[in-house]
Amino acid sequence: MGLKQMILNPYFDGIIYGLIATSSVLLALDEPNISDYKRKVLSLGARIILFFFILEFLTKSIVM
């Protein structure tokens, strides 16, 4: 499967929408007075999602 076929697949958009929703939930869970453990988990989740957004951007930039 080529990159163009991958980004034109409707499931690709669904995955991206899921990442956006997950990112929004992580942002909503962030508050000023949370434990260090929760802050680390939220930070790790945000970095993982950021990695996938960058991967999406690079993939679409290469193909388009």
Q: Tell me the pLDDT tens digit for each residue of 10-32.
A: 999 999 999 999 999 999 998 88
Dist CA 57 CA 1 (whole Å):
18
Helix axes 36-63, 10-29, angle to 10 degrees: 150
Asked if pLDDT for residue 64 goes beyond 90, the answer is no
**Residues present in the chain in total:** 64
42 within 8 A of 29, measured Cβ to Cβ: yes
Q: Indicate the DSSP class of residue 33.
A: S
**pLDDT, mean of residues 22-49:** 93
Res. 1 pLDDT band, cuts 50 70 90: confident
What is the pTM assigned to this prediction? 0.84
23 within 8 A of 49, measured Cβ to Cβ: yes
56 within 8 A of 16, measured Cβ to Cβ: yes
